[in-house]
């Protein structure tokens, strides 16, 4: 029974890997930002976890390298790192159908 289940798991894993490689990665190729050496150097300057948890600090460092802003409701973790703000229509409870920030920089969301 276990051997049969293992064979099915391998087949499902192969299907999932092909789907990820063939569909997901190409769809997001221009949207995924890497954690690279410049981001690591910026991350090293942050006071983690004192000001922000490691996962938020990673996001902030990557955004800073890419010269992007974080649009987030979780401003308390990002503001001490110099990143993250709440776009005004979100802050006021209104939902925007287009970018409310105009040309203030690209967004990392």
**What's residue 18's pLDDT?**
94
pLDDT bucket at 106, cuts 50 / 70 / 90: very low
Please list the residues that pair with 70 across neighbouring strands. Answer: 108
**What's residue 65's pLDDT?**
93
Helix (H) or strand (E) holding 27: helix 25-27
pLDDT bucket at 78, cuts 50 / 70 / 90: confident
Helix (H) or strand (E) holding 70: strand 68-70
**What's residue 90's pLDDT?**
52
Which of 76, 54, 64, 51 has its CA nearest to residue 106? 64
- For the chain, the structural domain boundaries read 1-32, 33-108
Give the rounded percent of residues in the chain with a pLDDT score beyond 70: 70
**Averaged over 38-46, what is the pLDDT?**
95
């Amino acid at each position: 029974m276990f051997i049969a289940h293992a064979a099915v798991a391998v087949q499902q894993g192969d299907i999932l890997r092909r789907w990820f490689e063939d569909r997901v990665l190409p769809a997001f190729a221009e949207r995924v930002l890497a954690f690279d050496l410049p981001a690591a150097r910026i991350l090293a300057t942050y006071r983690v976890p004192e000001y922000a948890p490691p996962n938020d600090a990673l996001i902030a460092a990557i955004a800073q390298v890419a010269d992007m802003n974080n649009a987030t409701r979780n401003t308390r973790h990002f503001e001490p790192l110099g990143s993250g703000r709440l776009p005004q229509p979100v802050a006021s409870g209104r939902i925007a159908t287009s970018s409310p920030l105009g040309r203030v920089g690209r967004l990392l969301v």
